[in-house]
Amino acid sequence: MLHPIESRPTAPVASPATPPVVSPVATARVLQHRPAPQPQPQGDDDPWHTGAACRRDEVGLFFAPSKEPTAARLSREEQAKQVCARCPVLLECREHALAQPEPYGVWGGLTAAERRVVLARRRRRDTELREAARVPARRRIAG
* Residues paired with 110 in a beta bridge: 107
Q: Tell me if 114 is assigned to some domain.
A: yes
In a domain, 122, yes or no: yes
pLDDT in tens, 42-98: 445 568 888 898 887 677 889 988 899 999 999 999 999 999 999 999 999 999 999
Query: pTM of whole model > 0.85?
Result: no
Total count of domains within the chain = 1
The residue among 109 and 47 whose pLDDT is bigger is 109
Name the percent of the chain lying above pLDDT 70.
Answer: 62
pLDDT at 69: 94
Domain hosting 96: range is: 24-31+51-135
Is 73 inside a domain boundary?
A: yes
Residues 109-136 have a mean pLDDT of 92
Quick one: 11 exposed, middle or buried, by C-beta within 10 A (0-12, 13-18, 19+)? exposed
Taking the CA atoms of 72, 77, 80 and 86 in sequence, report the sign of the dihedral they define.
negative
- 9 is a domain residue: no
> Is the CA virtual torsion 119, 104, 27, 109 positive or negative?
positive
**Residue 37 domain-assigned?**
no
Q: How far apart are CA 51 and CA 37, in angstroms?
A: 10
Nearest to 23 by CA among 53, 52, 62, 81: 62
pLDDT above 50: residue 114: yes
Find out whether 112 and 104 touch, Cβ atoms under 8 Å: yes
